Structure 1
Amino acid sequence: MKKIFLLLNLVLISLLLSNCETEETMPNETSIVTNKNTINKKEIALDLVNLLADPEFATNIISKLSTDHSPGIKLSELLKENSFMSSQKSYQSLKKVADNANNQLKFSDLPDNIEIPELWLQKPSNKNVDYKNLLVSFAPEGDEKSWTEIEAYTLDGQLVYLDVKNTPDAPVLVIETKGYETLKAEVDYMNKQLQVSGLQNNRFETAKMDLNPSSKSNAGLETTKLDRIKLKDDEEPWISGAAEIYAITSGIKNAGNDAEIKIIPMYYLDHDGTTYYPNQIMLFWEDYKYQAANIQLFEKDDNHNYKELVNVIVNGVFQIIGTVSGQPWVNVLGQVAGAILQAMPDQWYTNSDDYVDSFYTIQKNTTYTNHRGARNNATVTLSPLFIPSN
């Protein structure tokens, strides 16, 4: 008899996973507000060209960007370190842009649009870099599939055009307003909105990663960590820079089948086709009533508004919850993951750059080695991790 019940359970889970994968190809129509970029990157480029005429400033900027291993550095930070140029009109213009971006985050609980200017350096591979040929550039506006060329400026202010797909032979100083720093701010705000809506506990509230168990009975915290991850090479334009990847985790937190959702940034995951070993905690098992959860990976889309996106996710999940109170929890788990996918803009389903992959029904105390996602865009190794209390 036990064998029969076990077989029925396996069949049920198999059907649910099949249902989740089917849902990926049948998204609901959604209306996500398109971002309006308010920072003029061309003006920033021309101001930088003016400042780079100073040898000391140029040396400082190139040295900083060459040795720093983060995907980008805030423009405000670079200006602060080079305040000896503060009397220059171009410096003052750039500082105004950077200050306005910082003030937007300081004085608004939930900004409508987040743009944080930052810089990164694209260096030619397998050759000695001659920074006398440095170019200053930025990504074009709109959908990358429509890009035909990339504007860039030489150090004497001449406009040149670069190929979209092929990395240039010269070093390029790239201006970004929707990159690494923006992702950090957006994830923080999205998690706050999930907390306000009741779809997230307060684990991220007092600290960005609170590892203290709420219950002392087990004298520790049971988690699942990400040991290894590799994304397929999606051949994005080089000017797009590092991929801004984040995970949405979901599980069932109580007998009423309410969802617990977290957004976890993966800042290190900056290049497709590369294997990373982050040792990053993805699932906190005391957050869930049951011993299974979902992990879904997305890349931040510069053309869609994070504020509207989290609202659509919340509404979609609540619609599902309102209809599943009497259903088995494992069924609800699959439907919550489906609701998150259906909340995303329709075009994400045909563009693997934005919706990366889903890992359904990840179980507690289980190791997954070279485990492929439902879309076969990501391969991960996951393992249990018990963290004892101090």
Structure 2
Amino acid sequence: MSASTPLRTTLIGAVLAATALVPLQGTALAAPAHPAAAASTASATSAPATSVSGIEDATARALARSLADPAWRGEVRRAALAADAVGLGGLTGRATATAGRQLAAGITEADRGVAAAKGLGSGAGPLLRVALADASMRERLASGTEPLVAAAPSDDDGATSFTAYDSRGTAHRLPLDAATTRPVYLVGVDGAKAVAEGLKVIDETLGSRGLNAPAPAAASTTAVASGIDTTRIDSVQVADVKEPFFKGDAEIFTLVTGFGKDGKPRVDTVEMPYLNKAGTTYYPGQVLVNWSNYKYDMADAVMMEDDGDTNYQALAKAIAAILLTITDQGAYIPLADAVLDAIPTSWWTDDPDYVDSWYTLAKSSSGKRNGAAGNGWMSVSPYHVAEL
């Protein structure tokens, strides 16, 4: 989800009629030794605590229990009202209330767990954030109504409800299509940051296997002297961003594939943080293909969406494994299908969802190009980037 918007702000649908909370019978969670302890323990009904969704759920429960401390509850409330989303690591790190300070170590561990689960390594930094689920809840939160804490469902399985916790650790099932009588905090990952870090991992992993090496100096002498030829995205729209409505903005990225100057398959990553709403036309003026990197005047583009539990290290290795089996036959061969075939079947529910693909984008391509899946379109044009 984009860093400029609330975490999963559209969890609460257009219908804002208040509904009663429905406690889950027999699901009260055992109290941990201190609030931070629950950050590494998933509830009985959640995903494993080693998965992103499991860590989010365990962290939501830990945060909920910590709000039994009135002073800490006030600190979190003030932070949530002051910003769209707040980093949990920073929030607990500067806490003055006892419960907030106790929670800090668990949040640090949970951040590390998220980074590991997404294949990002230790350099990703804090990733977990908390935000009010919907702006309509601000008044109730400001008035002192005790909030619930939840992690939004992380899979595209047609769920109609989600689990939220109160300060006693009791779980409540809440509907996805109506507001509650109490404000709800949502715990989740800073999606924009995760995608940016994830694409770095893909670039580094593919680079180590020779799948995005810079063009040889001799082959690029002319281009360096006069600039580079590119294909630019003038406008783009996607009908379905493959993101459940309750998870808010999508996190879109594109893998551009073709044969490099060295004759090996090549993959370049393109981050598209602006492309986050279905049915909306965007005008990014963004470079999609840098033709100085490619042997042939054609390339493919595969657009995907990060749905939460994406492990970028595993994704990069899977793509590399299949592309390294393809050799240059002296003519352009579309590689989009090879990239899609590299993605394990199990990843098509709540990992990098396939959005659409564009085959045989030529150096001279201009105008509107519909995606092969009929889910999106791009208007592109040749664009020469002159040397300074």
2:145 is equivalent to residue 147 of structure 1: no
Equivalence for 2:371: 373
Equivalence for 2:130: 119
Q: 1:230 aligns with which of 225, 237, 241?
A: 237
CA contact (8 A) 2:140 2:182 kept: yes
Equivalence for 2:99: 89
Equivalence for 1:187: 199
Displacement after TM superposition at 1:257 (Å): 3.4
CA contact (8 A) 2:242 2:353 kept: no
SS of 2:212's equivalent in the other structure is coil
Q: 2:276 aligns with which of 248, 270, 276?
A: 270
SS of 2:233's equivalent in the other structure is strand
CA distance in 1, matches of 2:177, 2:293: 44
Specify whether residues 374 and 117 from structure 1 end up closer, same or farther in structure 2 by C-alpha distance, changes over 3 A only. Answer: same
Give the aligned residue type for 1:36.
S
Equivalence for 1:36: 51
Following superposition of structure 1 onto structure 2, how do residues 54-93 of structure 1 map, counting pairs within 5 Å?
A: 54-65=73-84, 73-79=86-92, 83=94, 85-93=95-103
CA contact (8 A) 2:152 2:247 kept: yes
CA distance in 1, matches of 2:169, 2:115: 33
Deviations 1:122-143 (A, max 9, x none): 3257x985434554321246x3
User: If the length of structure 1 is used for normalisation, what is the TM-score?
Assistant: 0.70
Specify whether residues 146 and 365 from structure 1 end up closer, same or farther in structure 2 by C-alpha distance, changes over 3 A only. Answer: closer
Moved more, 268-277 or 171-180: 171-180
Displacement after TM superposition at 1:95 (Å): 4.8
Displacement after TM superposition at 1:282 (Å): 1.3
CA distance in 1, matches of 2:176, 2:188: 16
2:52 is equivalent to residue 46 of structure 1: no
Equivalence for 1:176: 188
Deviations 1:292-344 (A, max 9, x none): 111110112434532222111101111122xxx43x422x2x1x221101011
Q: 1:311 aligns with which of 308, 313, 317?
A: 317
Deviations 1:160-200 (A, max 9, x none): 32223556686543211373322222111111001101001
SS of 1:182's equivalent in the other structure is helix
CA contact (8 A) 1:49 1:157 kept: no
Count of aligned residue pairs for this structure pair: 327
CA distance in 1, matches of 2:174, 2:300: 41
Gaps of 5+ in 2: 1-48
CA distance in 2, matches of 1:35, 1:368: 45
Deviations 1:235-286 (A, max 9, x none): 84443232121100011123x6311211222222222232222222211111
Displacement after TM superposition at 1:74 (Å): 3.3
User: If the length of structure 2 is used for normalisation, what is the TM-score?
Assistant: 0.70
Displacement after TM superposition at 1:48 (Å): 6.1
Percent identity over the alignment? 24
Specify whether residues 73 and 261 from structure 1 end up closer, same or farther in structure 2 by C-alpha distance, changes over 3 A only. Answer: farther
Gaps of 5+ in 1: 1-33, 66-71, 204-212
C-alpha RMSD of matched pairs (Å):
3.8
Specify whether residues 294 and 63 from structure 1 end up closer, same or farther in structure 2 by C-alpha distance, changes over 3 A only. Answer: same
Specify whether residues 295 and 243 from structure 1 end up closer, same or farther in structure 2 by C-alpha distance, changes over 3 A only. Answer: same
Equivalence for 2:6: none
